[in-house]
Amino acid sequence: MASNRIQRSTVANPFMTFAREVDQLQQSINQMFQDPLAVTADTFAPSRLMGWHPAVELAESDKELTMTAELPGVEQNDVHVELDGDVLTLRGEKRSERIEGDKQKDFYLEERSYGAFRRSFTLPPNVDSEKITAAFNNGVLTLKMPKTNNVKPGAREIVIGAK
């Protein structure tokens, strides 16, 4: 299925924020149909659509999945990685560099985003959750998720027997 992409002008106007939110919603919907990982309810959370979220790449080899997340301007202590069952969640906060009451700076253009972020991903059943490692270097978070041959059972039908 081919996807159409609307190109927007970079000229500032009052509807730019709304247009960006619509684009992000469209990308989230497209991701539902194209992403090999399951989409969680977090994909459509207001914080995802209204605020900042890090760009993520996922690569697969024979032995592992590697996820990288770009977190420029985020301190390592402000990043948290959690695993709950088969749902991996990246969360943290990119703090504003603006100082309240600073009369020396008048911003005429603001394209950088700040605030809390949260991204969740459902891991495939062949990931060894006990051996996941994370490293943070130069604003890039790298997660190594080794694969295992011991696949966790997925959904299955339970046969109902007679009493």
Answer whether residue 103 is part of any domain.
no
Answer whether residue 142 is part of any domain.
yes
Answer whether residue 132 is part of any domain.
yes
Answer whether residue 15 is part of any domain.
no
Q: What is the DSSP string of the chain?
A: ----------S--TTHHHHHHHHHHHHHHHHHHH-SSBPPGGGG-HHHHHS----EEEEE-SSEEEEEEE-TT--GGGEEEEEETTEEEEEEEE-----TT-TT---S------EEEEEEEEPPTTB-GGG-EEEEETTEEEEEEEB-SSPPP---PPPPPP-
CATH number at residue 122: 2.60.40.790
Answer whether residue 41 is part of any domain.
no
Answer whether residue 35 is part of any domain.
no
Answer whether residue 138 is part of any domain.
yes
Domain residue limits at 131: 52-97+109-146
pTM of the model: 0.59
Answer whether residue 67 is part of any domain.
yes
Q: What are the pLDDT digits (tens) for 47-103?
A: 444 567 789 999 999 999 999 999 988 889 999 999 998 899 999 988 776 666 666
The total number of structural domains in the chain stands at 1
Per-residue confidence (pLDDT) for residue 3, from 0 to 100: 43
